[in-house]
Every structure is written in structure tokens, then in C-alpha cells.
Structure 1
Amino acid sequence: MLYFINQKGPFTEGIFGKSPSIKSCRALKKKLNCGDTVNLNEEPILVIASVLKDFLRNIQGSIFSASLYDKWLDVIDQGNEDDKIKATQRLLDQLPRANVVFLRYLFAVLRNIEQHSSSNQMTAYNLSVCITPSILHLPNSGSSELGNFTKKISFIQFLIENCLKIFGEDITCLFGEMSVSSDNSDITDITDNSEKVAVIKEQSLESEPVRMTMFYKKGQLQYDAMTSSRMGPSTDLSTVF
């Protein structure tokens, strides 16, 4: 899903912000939950983005870990940019390995979208407004989080704007070095890394239906071997894909 959003999202106005058909979202989630083979190339990108947000929102304890919630919010109150980056990296060290891997891919996508904000109208701030409720929250907190909403948005915006320094500049190559046209019809792999070429070929928009399984219930997040060196112990998340 992230791969498809990374390809089409940068040239989709209002990606993560516009609300797609609820019926279409339910239909896609049903197919994923049933383990059906899904060709995401045939699904509207706004529907894919909405289902991803739903997945993120239902990760048990949140992708940032509820136990660290207050510490994440404290990051934005640190002194200068370097202090904020170092504080963020220290907290990433405390997250389970699967969470860090997923966050690297997620913020690689968000950065790519933000880099094309002149086309999609999704600046780092706009993206943070749309994605924050799904990734940084306390379970069953209700209205108690409203007072922290502005701080949370500022923190996620900071992560998007500084993700290369935080997660490493190699996150720009996590999906392969691609050239993408604005109509999404001309996708060319230009990477020289044979391992990455294999990944891109397997998940190409031109290929057979994408091989993925996604369950909206407890399970362990299966992750790629190409990961950050900043990894803690593994964990159980609310999906497998």
C-alpha cells in the first residue's frame, strides 16, 4: 500500500486529506481481511490512503507506542533543531524494531508527497493535520487529547521536514530510485542496485496483483530485511502485511 501511495500520492491533490467513498473503503478492507488477492493498481489511490490511515489508527498502542506518548510531545519543546532531532532519535531507540521499520517507510512516503506539494497541495503542515490523529494518540483517550492537538501536529510536521536527518538519507531509496510522471502512467526504474531492482520488479504497478495480506486483528508486523540500524526488540502490532 505504501508503495502505491508513494507512486501516485505525490500527484494526487489532497492525498490523505480528501475523503473517498466509504463503500469503496469498506469493500477494500473486506477483501484484505478475507485474504483475497488484491490488485491495488485498480483501486482509487484515495481509497488506499484512507484504508492505510484506518490501519495506522488501529495499531495496538499506536505506532509511536502509548507508553512514550508524553515524551514524544516533549520533543517539540526542546531547544534548537539539533536538540529535537537527537531527542527524537533517542525515543526511536526505545521503540520495537517493527515500529521503527514501518515509520521509516511511512515518513519516506510523506516526504515524497510533501516534495510535490505544489501539485498536491499537501504541505508538511497539511499532511501532519491529516495523518497525526492516526499515528500519535492515546488509546481510548477521547476528548482528553484535544489540548495537545496543536503540539502533536507540530511534532509530526517536524518529523516530515527533518526525516532525512532523523531516519537517514537512505529512506529516499526504500522504494527504489524511481522517475514518476504526473499522470502515473510512466514509471521507470533507474536504480543500479540489483537487490532493489528485484523488489521494485516484484511490486511494480505494471505487474500481477500485489502480493500482500492484511488482517485487521492482532498479529505480528512482518518487515523487510532492509531496515534501519536503530532497532529494538520485536513487537506485536494489529496487522500483518
Structure 2
Amino acid sequence: MSSTDEQGLQAKTDTPSGEELTSELLAEFHEANRDNELFASTEDPEFEFDESGLQLASKEAELDLEAELEDLAREQAGEIAFRSGAITPEGLIEDDFEKELGTPSDAEDNDESEFRDVAQYRILEVAGDDTYGRKVIVASACRLPPSSQINHERLMEYLKYTLDQYVENDYVIVYFHYGLTSKNKPKLGWMLQMYRELDRKYKKNLKALYLVHPTNFIKLLLNIFKPFISAKFGRKIMYVDYLHKLKEHLHFDQLVVPSLVLEHDAKILSAQKPSYPYSSDESEAAVHNPKQQFGVKLQQILQNYKCVIPPVVEICVEFLRKNALDVEGIFRRSANASVLKDVQKRFNQGETVDFDEINDVHIPAVTMKTFLRDLQEPILTFDLYQPVVRLHTLEEDRQLIEVQRLFREELPKENYIILKYIIHFLTQVSQYSDSNKMNTVNLAIVFGPNLLWPKGQANLSTIGHLNSFAAYLIDNYTQLFVR
């Protein structure tokens, strides 16, 4: 992207000038780093940034920051050509900046949350699993209200509260940077404190942090953080310049993307006209492939294979039942991406995959989750989404009767048979929870969003209801599946 184009896009946004940004950030950095209070030592020996020589590192960072900020000021004034990024194994580095605040949407049942004062803005969302079977958490800067309207300490507690529900499993974070302005941007000291408080507990199972529409500002922040970020954590950061690039790693149609971000991406695409990585010929070939199992309708698979249970589900379940019931963390860990893609390709070609040859129990576990999430319509169907979400409003004895009715009257017979097959298997997995650490709650967190999701975008409160419903199915299997 040329310097002229960049200035044209940035002129439409509410951003400070280069000199103002330089002065503001430098002042914040000095304030945040004063007396080195934010980087006091910790007793955890496995903390992910190097705490030795921090005072020296912070002083060096200040000197480096001076030069970086001067370059940034000149760059924004058009004196330096934009430094385009390089392709990484999982993303790209590019540019652009921010705009107005997003309008928070009404989230269901926010009154149930102890953090409803923060949750109402929908800054954080959960969007099922990525293509490698890892939980996806979405953070949107455009939904941050003005700093005067939100308690950032509460925001940090809410962030930890949300992550606590998923950090025991592999997960990824998608951060939409567009919409961060001088009005809603947290202070630099708060950002530094957040990195420190999100210690190894949160970083260990974080597999990727996708920074979407990165700007000079966020790249500058990373330079500031460089003395304190471990190389291991740094490798998890992936820059994504266009939304469609996320399709290489995530189920894009299941992402929670604010309308402001979609509009911003459309403007960039119109200006830059990048090559789109997926051709229509490939999409049409997948639709007309009679052996296709991933990303198609369930009825298409059952009709083409003349079966009751989709082959991929049956093969995965039978292998896991024989080989993985006592494996710790089964369904919680991701697997080798290239092997997963090869397995999916072979299933889509109608081949019978022998998981004994692969010798990794996490491959069939992730393959099974991916198959369920890739269906064009969930096993529990779109029609049952609202009835399931509202189940918690019923008395306990009425819930059982209502679920039985839904299964009997509204869930298609073939869907019921497959769901029964899967839930029965999950009850067997839960019986080995002492060794595999996958009790009903853990299984529900993994499978809830893979059994049912809405046509539109979900939110944190509804994800909780889906997880509770999955746990309810496992705990009450014999009473619910009576036909």
C-alpha cells in the first residue's frame, strides 16, 4: 500500500496526528514504566517473558521508542513509504486505521452475568472452533465505549473471567483492531498491566493471536512490548490485512464480525483489489462432489453414502472408543494442521482412513469436531436454536418434557439417530474422566457450539446456554433418547 493511499484511508478516521501520537504514547510509556512497577518480579518460574534485566530493558525500550515514534510521525506525514509486511506461515502483515465506536447490540440474558456492565458492549464473543478444532474468542476494538464510560479494571476482570472458561483447552484469539480511537483507547499502562496479569495460565494453550487490520499504532505497541514478550509468545502473533485471509484458518461465516469492521474491510478491498485466494471453480467442484463429507448438508452425505451414520463420524468414534477413552485431554488438544487437511481430503474423496497408521489419537478427535462444525446446518438444526437457548427459563421437570418433545416432533429422524450415537459415545468418554480429565462440563464446552449454532452471530450468554444443553444431553442420556 502506498503512502498516499494510506493517508487517504486514514484521513477518514478519527486519529491523532503523528506528532500528537508521538507525544501521547511517549508520555504514557514513561508513566506506565515509572519505577518499573508494572514489571515487578513474579514467583512463577515459567512466566513467559524474561524478567532478568528488566530495568535495563525498559530504558533501552524508551530510547528505541523515541526513534520509532519519530519515524511514525514522519511516516504519517508522508515522508517515509509504508513498510509492508511479510507473509508468515499463518498470516500477513499490512496496514490501516480506525474510526467510530460500534453500537453495542442487545445480548440475551446479560442480567445473569456478574459482569453485565461490561458484557453489554459485546467486546468479547465466542465463535466456536477454528479449522484445527481450537476454540475461537473474538475481541472487537470498535465496541469499546469511550474511556470515560467504562471501568478498565472491570474490563480486565471480565477478560480473565471469559478466558478462564476456555484456557484449559487449546484456543485462539481474533482481535479486530479497527475502531480503536483516541476516545476509547485504554492507557498504555493498562495494556502493559494486562500482558503481565495474563500470565502463563492464559498463554500456555493460546495457539494463535490474529491481529486483523493492524495499524502503525499497534505495530508500535508491539515494538514497545518487545523487551517483555517471549519469543515463544511472539511467534503466536499473526497479522491479517484482509478478512478473507482468515478463511485459511477459521470458519469465517461463524465469526462475530462487527458491521463497522466489515465496512472497513470492504473499503480496503475496493482500494487495494487484492487477489482472492479461493476460486469459484473450486467451490462449485466441492458442491458437486458426491463423496464430499465436510462442509455439505447432512442429508447429502446420508443419501450419497446410503448410510445411517456419516462414515467420518463412525470411523472417528469407533477408533476413539477403542484407543482414546483414557487419553488425558482428548478433544481438548489441537492436532497437526497438515495431517488434518490430508485426512479431510481423503474423506472427501470417499477413502477409508486408517487412524492406526497415523498414530495420533488427537487427529480423529479434531476431525470429528471439525466435521460437525463444518456441516451447512448443525446436527440439532437451526430451527431448534431458539427453543434450546430458552430451555433454561423452564422448571427442571418441564425441561425434560420439552427436550423429549423437541426430539420427537421437531428434530428430523436422521439427525436424532446421529445425535444419539454421538451423545452415547460422549457418555462413555465422561465415565473415564478420572484419567482423561474430560468430565461432562469439559465435554460440553467442546461440543456445545459444534452441535448447535445460530444462522447469525452468537454471543457469550447464548454460548453458555449451548454448553449447558450439551451437558444436559450427556447427563440425561437414558431419559432423553428413548426412541
> Which of the residues 325, 333, 338 maps onto 1:23?
338
Superimposed CA distance per residue, residues 157-198 of structure 1 (whole angstroms, 9 cap, x where no aligned partner): 111111111114xxxxxxxxxxxxxxxxxxxxxxxxxxxxxx
Find out whether 1:166 has 2:480 as its counterpart: yes
CA gap 1:3/1:76 in 2 versus in 1, 3 angstroms = farther
Match runs of 1:1-241 below 5 Å: 1-43=316-358, 44-80=360-396, 82-93=397-408, 94-139=410-455, 141-142=456-457, 144-168=458-482, 229=483
CA distance in 2: counterparts of 1:60 and 1:90, whole angstroms: 24
CA–CA distance in structure 1, aligned partners of residues 423 and 471 of structure 2: 11
Q: What SS does the corresponding residue of 2:459 show, helix, strand or coil?
A: helix
Q: Distance in 2 between matches of 1:4 and 1:86?
A: 34
Question: Higher RCO, 1 or 2 (CA under 8 Å, sep at least 6)?
Answer: 1
Bigger Rg, structure 1 or 2: 2
Amino acid at match of 2:370: D
**SS where residue 19 of structure 1 aligns?**
coil
Cα distance between partner residues in 2 of 1:38 and 1:55:
14
Deviation at 1:14, TM superposition (A): 1.0
Give 1:87 deviation, angstroms.
1.0
- Aligned residue identity for 1:165: Q
Q: Which runs of 5+ in 1 are unaligned?
A: 169-228, 230-241
In the alignment, residue 19 of structure 1 is paired with which amino acid? S
Identity %: 28
Distance 1:92 1:25 in 2: 33
Tell me which residue corresponds to 2:145: none
* Structure 1 residue 60: Cα displacement: 2.2
Q: Distance in 2 between matches of 1:28 and 1:35?
A: 11
Question: Aligned partners of 1:30 and 1:72: how far apart in 2?
Answer: 33
Question: Which residue identity does 2:353 align to in structure 1?
Answer: V
Letter in 2 for 1:164: T
Moved over 6 A (4+): none
> TM-score, normalised on structure 1?
0.65
- The answer for the alignment partner of 1:206 in structure 2 is none
Distance 2:324 2:464 in 1: 25
Unaligned runs of 5+ in 2: 1-315
The one-letter code of the counterpart of 1:36 is E
Tell me by how many angstroms 1:117 deviates. 0.3
Deviates more, 1:116-125 or 1:29-38: 29-38
CA distance in 1, matches of 2:324, 2:453: 24
Question: 2 CA distance for matches of 1:41 and 1:83?
Answer: 45
Letter of the 2:418 counterpart:
F
Q: Judge conservation of contact 1:2–1:105 (CA < 8 Å) in 2.
A: no
Following superposition, the deviation at residue 41 of structure 1 comes to: 2.6
CA distance in 2, matches of 1:52, 1:62: 13
Measured after TM superposition, the shift of residue 24 of structure 1 is 1.4
- Contact map agreement 1:5 1:109 (CA 8 A) in 2: no
- Cα contact 2:448–2:469 (8 A) shared by 1: no
For residues 14 and 34 of structure 1, what CA distance do their matches in structure 2 show? Answer: 30
User: Displacement, 1:63?
Assistant: 0.6
Deviation at 1:106, TM superposition (A): 0.2
Instruction: Report the count of equivalent residues.
Output: 166
Question: Residues 72 and 91 of structure 1 are in contact (CA less than 8 Å); yes or no, is this contact kept in structure 2?
Answer: no
Contact kept, 8 Å, 1:61 with 1:138, in 2: the verdict is no
Tell me how far apart the structure 1 counterparts of residues 423 and 369 of structure 2 sit (CA, whole Å): 13
- 1:9 and 1:128 map into 2 onto residues whose CA distance is 18
